[in-house]
Chain A
Amino acid sequence: MREHGTTSQRMPLEGDAPLEGGAGRLTPEELRRSLQIFREKLSSDEVAYINSCVRCGLCADSCHYYLAEPQTECIPAYKLGLVTGVFKMYFGSVGKVFPRWMGARRLDRQTLEAWVDSLFGRCTLCGRCSLNCSVGLDVTRLIRLARSTLVSVGLVPRGLQSTVDTALQKGNNMGIPRQEWVETVEWLEQELRGELNDERARLPLDVQGARLLCTVNPREPMFFPLSIVAAGKILHAAGESWTFSSENYDVTNYGLFSGDDDAARVMAERLVESMERLGCETLVLAECGHGFNSNRWKGPQWLRKRYGFEVRSILEVVADYVREGRIKLDPSLNPDLVTLHDPCNLVRLGGVVEDQRYLLERSSLHFVEMVPNREKNFCCGGGGGQLSMSEFSERRLSAGKIKAEQIRATGARVVAAPCHNCIDQISELNKHYKLGVETKTVCEVVAAALVTEG
C-alpha cells in the first residue's frame, strides 16, 4: 500500500498548499513535468477528438451546469477548449506559430488554475455532452486527461485527494478498520436473521469458493447499513452461494474521478486479488455508478489484462433471480409511487440500462420514469468526485436543479438510485429544493417486496 500523497505521478507542493494560489507555487520544473504527463496520457483517440471539435456550441444545453448557470464557462466546448488549446500550442504545427489564430494556450499557472476551476469544479464527467455532441467526441476523456495532469502537480482539490489517499492507506475510502467491518457484518447478520426470522440467514465472510464475491460501498456500513441487509435478504432468498471479503471489498475508486491512474490501478487490483484469493466466479459490484464503470470497464484497462472472471452489477444478478423464478416479489408491498434515477456511470457509461427497470416494475405498484431517462438521463450533479470537493458544493447544488425538477415532475414519493453518490446528492437536493421524497437503493425496494417463506 502506498503512503499518503505518494502516488507515483503526484508531486505534492510544499506544505500541501490549499487550492487558491496552488498553481502559483509551481516551479518551472513542475510545469515542464505537467506538460510531460499531458503528452504521456495522450493516445490517438484523444488526438482525434481534439481535431474534431468544430466549436458549434450545440453541446451547451446538454450540460446540467450550463442549464443551471448559462454562462460560457459552463459550456462543455469551453471546458474542452481549455484542454485542446494546450495540445494546439505544443503538438499542433500551426498552433505553435499562430497561437491566437488557432485558440492555442500555454500550459502555465493560469491555465492550470482554470483547469482546476472548470474541469474539477464544473464537470461531473457524466458524458451527456458526448452523446449530444455534433461529432460524438468523448469530452470526459479529455477532461479526465487534464485531471491526470493536475494529479502530477498536486493540484487535485484537497477533499477529493484525501478520499483517494484514505482508500490507498486504509484499504477503503472511509478508512474503516478491518475489525470494525467484520463486527458490522456480524451485527447486520443478526439484524437479517431477526428480520427474516430465519437462523440460517447469513452475511457470509471470506467463504472460499463461493460463486459470488459481493462488494460494498464503504458508505453503506457507515451510514446505510440497511442497504447491506437488503442485498443480503435477496441473496439469501435466492439460495445463492456468495460471500463478502473481510479485506478489499470497497467497490469505489476515486482515482477515476481524480484522474490518478496509478491509484485507480491499485484499487482495481485489490478486488482482483480478493477474487483470486477466494476463488469466486463472479465479482458482484454493489449499487455504485462509478464503482461499476471503474471495475467493469476501466479496471481491465488500468491493469492491462483481461479478467478471468465475470464482473456484474448486483442489479443484473438480482434481475436474473426474478427471471429464473428464484425469488418472488409482491409489488403491493411497495404501494408508493417510485421513480428511478439513472447514474451516469452505470447507465450511459456502463450499459446497465434495463435491469433496474425490470426490477422496479415488478417490485413496486406504481413506477414512473423521469424524462429524459436511460442513457439520456441528466446527471444528479454528484458525480465526478463533486461530493468530496467542498469548495464547489454551491455549484453542485445549483447544477442539481435540473435533476430536482425532473424528480418533482414525476410526483414520486420514492427515488430509487442505484448509486450511493447519487443517493447522497439527491438527499441534499431533497432538502435544498424541498422535494419531499425518500431515496432508496434498488435492492432496498426489491427487498421490501420480497415474498419470504413464513
Chain B
Amino acid sequence: MTPFLRYAVFLSSGFCLVSLLILLIKTFAFGRRTNYAKHRGSAVRGVLYAFGRGMMPTEKESARRHLFTYSAGVTYHGGILAALVYLVLLLLEYELPAPLLSLFRLLLTLGFVAGFFLLLRRILLPAPRKLSCPDDFAANILVTAFVLLGAVHSQWESGLPLFFLTATAVFLYVPLGKIRHCVFFFYSRVLFGLFYGSRGVLPQEKKQEAA
C-alpha cells in the first residue's frame, strides 16, 4: 500500500506544480500595465518592507487588533511548512536525528492546534462564516488533517499511509481552490511593495503612536 501511495504523492505533487505554473502563465497572459509615473520612493525598499517589517504587528493594525488570530495564522503556516518538509524527508527515507524530530513534533502539533482554531473561528464567528464558501472550509480541513497526520506520525510512527493519502489530496486540491494563494500571496506582496515603495509611502521612517 505505502509504495503505491508514495507514487501517488509524487504524481500529485507534479500535478500541483504544473497546474500552478499554468495558473501563473494564464495570469500573466492578462498583461501588466506599465507604470509611466516617475517614482517618488524606492520600489526595491518597498518590496523588502513588504516581506519584512511590513508583515509585523507593529506595522499592521489588523494584526495588532487580532493578535491571537494573527499568531495562529503564522503558526499554522509554520506547521504546514514543517509538514511539507517532513513529508519530503519521509519520501527520501531520511532518518531524522532525535532533536530535529522533536522540533518537527512541536511545529506540527502547534500547527494543527492553530489550524483547528482557525477552522473553529471560521465556523463559529458570524463574520468569517458569512465571508466563507465551502472551498474555505474544505481547504482548512484538508490541510489541518495533513498537519495532524504529520504530527501523529512524528510521535508514534504510525498512520503513514493516511499521511501520504492526505498529502496526495492536498496536492490535488492546491491549484483548484483557495490554497493556490500559496503562490499568489508572494505575487500580491511584491505588488504591494512596488506600489507603496515607488510612491514613497512605505517604508515610513517616522514613528507614530499605535492606534
User: Could you list which residues of chain A lie within 8 angstroms of chain B, going by C-beta atoms?
Assistant: 42-49, 51-62, 72, 75, 77-78, 81, 93-94, 100-103, 130-138, 296-301, 303-307, 347-351, 353-354, 369, 371-376
B85 to A: closest C-beta gap in Å: 22
Tell me if B32 and A43 are in contact (CB < 8 A): yes
Is the CB of B134 closer than 8 A to any CB of chain A? Answer: yes
Is the CB of B53 closer than 8 A to any CB of chain A? Answer: no
How many chain B residues touch the partner (CB < 8 A)?
64
Tell me if B131 and A349 are in contact (CB < 8 A): no
Report the bound CA distance from A230 to B50 in whole Å.
39
Tell me if A132 and B131 are in contact (CB < 8 A): no
Name the residue on B nearest A50 (C-beta). B184
The stretch from B9-17, B92-100, B162-170, B173-181 touching chain A is B173-181
Q: Which of B30, B128, B136, B201 interacts with A351 by CB under 8 Å?
A: B201
Interface set, chain B 180-204, CB cutoff 8 A to A: 180-181, 183-185, 187-189, 191-192, 195-196, 199-202, 204
Query: Given the known A-B contacts A58-B62, A301-B35, A306-B38, are A48 and B184 also in contact in the complex, defined by CB atoms under 8 Å?
Result: yes
A250 to B: closest C-beta gap in Å: 20
Question: Could you list 26 A-B pairs, sorted by A, with CB under 8 Å?
Answer: A44-B28, A44-B29, A44-B31, A45-B191, A47-B30, A52-B184, A54-B178, A54-B181, A57-B125, A58-B62, A58-B63, A72-B127, A78-B131, A101-B133, A132-B62, A137-B188, A137-B192, A306-B36, A306-B37, A347-B201, A349-B199, A353-B200, A353-B201, A353-B204, A372-B61, A372-B208
Tell me if A138 and B192 are in contact (CB < 8 A): yes
Q: Which of A52, A55, A354, A374 interacts with B136 by CB under 8 Å?
A: A55
User: Could you list which residues of chain B lie within 8 angstroms of chain A, going by C-beta atoms?
Assistant: 23, 26-38, 40-41, 50, 54, 60-63, 65-66, 69-70, 73, 125-128, 130-136, 138, 176-178, 180-181, 183-185, 187-189, 191-192, 195-196, 199-202, 204, 206, 208-211
7 new A-B contacts at CB < 8 Å, known A136-B188, A375-B201 = A51-B23, A58-B62, A81-B131, A136-B191, A351-B40, A375-B204, A376-B208
Name the residue on A nearest B23 (C-beta). A51
The interface residues of chain B, by DSSP majority, are classed as: helix
Report the bound CA distance from A375 to B192 in whole Å.
14
Name the residue on B nearest A375 (C-beta). B201
Name the residue on A nearest B199 (C-beta). A351
Tell me if B201 and A348 are in contact (CB < 8 A): yes
Q: Which of B32, B36, B191 interacts with A305 by CB under 8 Å?
A: B36
Tell me if B23 and A375 are in contact (CB < 8 A): no
Report the bound CA distance from A44 to B31 in whole Å.
5
Name the residue on B nearest A310 (C-beta). B38
Query: Given the known A-B contacts A44-B32, A55-B132, are A349 and B208 also in contact in the complex, defined by CB atoms under 8 Å?
Result: no
Tell me if B62 and A103 are in contact (CB < 8 A): no
Tell me if A57 and B37 are in contact (CB < 8 A): no
Q: Which residues of B contact A45 (CB under 8 A)?
A: 32-33, 191
Tell me if B211 and A376 are in contact (CB < 8 A): yes
Q: Which residues of B contact A307 (CB under 8 A)?
A: 36-38
Report the bound CA distance from A348 to B208 in whole Å.
14
Q: Which residues of B contact A75 (CB under 8 A)?
A: 127, 131
